[in-house]
A and B are shown apart, each in its own frame.
Chain A
Amino acid sequence: MSRITVPRAPRLKVALVGVSSPGYRSLALGYVRAYAEADPRLSSVGFTTLDLDTAVDPWWIAYRVLELQADVVGLSVVCWNARAVYEVARIIASVRPETLIVLGGPEVGPIAEEVLREHGSVGAVVRGEGEVTFAELLAVHLKRGDLSRVDGVTARRNGSIASAPDRRIITDLDDIPSPYLSGVLAPVDGTAYIESYRGCPHSCGYCYEGKGYDRIRRFSDERIAAEIEAIASAPGVDSFSFIDPVFNLTPGRLAWLADTLEPYALRGVRLHTIEVDLERITEADAALLARAGVVSVETGPQTVGELALATCRRSFDAEALRRGVEACRAAGISAECDLIIGLPGDTAADVLAGIDFAIGLDPGIVQLSTLHVLPGTDLWERAGELGLIFDREPPHEIIATRDISFADLRRLEGFGKAAAALYRARL
């Protein structure tokens, strides 16, 4: 007589909740889950991922999460989803106060103690890279240990808030199982992203891309090639992208990526919105991008104002950028030129000159955004010194600068939006 095996209920139920932009999914939560699931100490933990988006009302996000009756809820927080995440956390904690709510991500890591002070519903914040720290946190939580002693965690301890030391960064990124290769994340057309390295060669004052780490760490070529194969060969996937801050990191790297991606490009798989240093793109580089299947790239200049460029530690070579756009255009690749309104040092005339310059390049798309003074960035630290008045509440938009009033910033946003739309309305 055969016996029916009833699966054991997990000792701990963990819900990982992504609140992404519509059409996107959280790669970060994929990493966190893949790493935790591979940890033998967490074999009794059951994981569920809810990939939702900001179009969903926070009350309905909370409803979905509460239905899972999770013991631990982990949420990834960036500036533009933070308000929704805090609301979700507040509702969950009100209904089910025994739930441990853990936040991580660039919005909360650099200001972890402030987040815990202001949001009583949040139990702990993971600072920096989340994979190892979150797994350690769960292991300690299983044993009813003190979370505030886990390196990289800020948590509540006896009515106060305590931060353990920072965790050392992961030396070998291949130690993190691939969310795609482990089956945690199924590739979906257009929304699958590959990260081939962490860190950024630039240190722009407004950006948290480098996440405070001073060097670049790469996933192995074998790992990247396997992820490309998994995504590009998945049924229904015709396009995907890379989240690397600079796709053309080095000439050798670009050549390797072109070689690796070309077979898939020949089958019609395309790469969209790849971030590149367009000023370094030659005709030969553009040909490599085309071989890789790249159809669109995204780049700066963010501003053309000399003082803002210097303040934000950015270089800018107008002629090189023009050549890069032309090289891409000749290779059939459209470029998106990004500009930021409200950078310190920029006057209204600088902003207008930037819009005029970007449109004059005729890149395909001109995208304007308003400065967000992000936690952990140089501008966040130096806001007072630089005369930046910004909203301390997420998404931390610039309110006024020393050179541009509140009203003129709003006017420049309106003008820029109209100029970008009229530029794009073309054959």
Chain B
Amino acid sequence: MIEFAEIVIGSGGIAPCAACGAPEPRVLRASAEIVAEIESRAHGWSAGPGPNFALVGTEPFAHPDLPALVAAAVACGAQRIRLRTDAGALAIPGNAAGVIHAGVRQVEAVLLGGDAATHDALAGRAGLYDAALEGLSAFTSAALAQRAHVAVCATVPVCIHNLTQLPAAVSACAAAGAVSVVLHVPAALSGSSAAREWIGAGLDTGTVNGVWVSVQCVPADTLPRSPLYALSPTLSLGGVL
């Protein structure tokens, strides 16, 4: 399938569930170090169509050198550049068009709930849910205007606090034009029969609404509905620090 080299640009900042624990402080990685890693991994690319880079680890729009990092990836011949983001910053006028113009073709939105109340509460930031949806809409609209082929994906870190929200979260992703959603299920939940039911409902919601939902961190043969749901069209090659 399509492999992405995950380039860690920092840590903290994209909220995990605030109810599960206190968020880590944001730490940004030095730009020169990031650029060096991009160049190194582009040079040795042997993982099929690519090179492809996903900038991960912290909110990319919080990194002051984001334009330079994307430009470095483009200069290295990157085919696909993806940002893992809370998507809120895409709603700021000019951001969506700017990143597409720079070379970003995919965004991976991190979603914690299927409605504003849940998402904002778990993210610890009021208004983020609406901003994220507005940002994703701005991203696809800007792509149309620039005649660029882009894709919206989403990641849902599943926990006990948003388990019952999975169908709604997947539905919201589908409505936002996502083509793929990944449910990250922690080991603590993977054996729970209640979790299995809600994950199954999320998978069904995706299939019926035309968005592919895959489950990570759960053995394929224990997945509800079908082992096919272990499959993701994109693979992460992991970060190298």
Contacts and interface: CB of A to CB of B under 8 A. Distances in A.
Contacts of A421: 151, 179-180
A422 B151 contact: yes
A356 B2 CA distance: 9
Interface string A385-407: 00000000000000000000001
A34 B178 CA distance: 47
A181 interface: no
Name, among A410, A423, A427, the residue most crowded by chain B CB atoms within 10 Å (CB to CB): A427
B49 A425 contact: no
A8 interface: no
A417 interface: yes
B23 interface: no
Contacts of B231: 352, 415
A426 interface: yes
Nearest to A412: B228
Contact of B49 (A352, A359, A412, A418): A359
Contacts of B78: 427
Given A419-B233, A425-B80, A414 B207 contact: yes
Contacts, number: 80
A173 B5 CA distance: 55
B74 to A, nearest CB: 7
Interface string B47-74: 0110010000000000000000000001
Contact of A360 (B49, B149, B150, B210): B49
Contacts of A362: 48-49
Given A360-B49, A425-B150, A426-B105, A419 B1 contact: yes
B103 A427 contact: yes
A56 B103 CA distance: 37
A352 B212 CA distance: 14
B211 interface: yes
Contact of B149 (A415, A419, A425): A425
Contacts of B226: 407-408, 411
B212 A417 contact: yes
B164 interface: no
B38 to A, nearest CB: 14
Nearest to A356: B1
Given A359-B1, A360-B48, A410-B207, A427 B81 contact: yes
B48 A414 contact: no
A418 B225 CA distance: 19
A211 interface: no
B2 A419 contact: yes
Contacts of A410: 207
A411 B233 CA distance: 13
B193 interface: no
B137 interface: no
B192 to A, nearest CB: 23
A414 B210 contact: yes
A348 interface: yes
Interface in A343-362: 348, 352, 355-356, 359-360, 362
Contacts of A323: none
A280 interface: no
B48 A359 contact: yes
A408 B1 CA distance: 19
A310 to B, nearest CB: 25
Contact of B211 (A348, A356, A418, A427): A418
B97 interface: no
Nearest to B203: A411
Name, among A362, A410, A415, A422, the residue most crowded by chain B CB atoms within 10 Å (CB to CB): A422
B153 interface: yes
B229 interface: yes
A415 B49 contact: no
Contacts of A417: 179, 210, 212
Contacts of B200: none
A79 B211 CA distance: 26
A425 B233 contact: no
Nearest to A415: B212
Name, among A414, A418, A419, the residue most crowded by chain B CB atoms within 10 Å (CB to CB): A418
Given A408-B226, A410-B207, A417-B179, A422 B149 contact: no
B46 interface: no
A334 B140 CA distance: 24
B202 interface: no
B228 A415 contact: yes
Interface string B206-230: 1100111000000000000110110
B105 A427 contact: yes
Contacts of A198: none
Nearest to A348: B228
Nearest to A363: B49
Given A362-B49, A421-B179, A426 B79 contact: yes
Given A362-B48, A417-B210, A422-B151, 5 more contacts: A348-B228, A411-B226, A414-B206, A421-B179, A427-B74
8 contacts: A407-B225, A414-B212, A419-B212, A421-B179, A422-B233, A425-B105, A425-B149, A427-B80
3 A-B pairs closest in CB distance: A425-B151, A418-B212, A419-B233
Interface of B: 1-2, 48-49, 52, 74, 78-81, 103, 105-106, 149-151, 153, 179-180, 206-207, 210-212, 225-226, 228-229, 231, 233-234
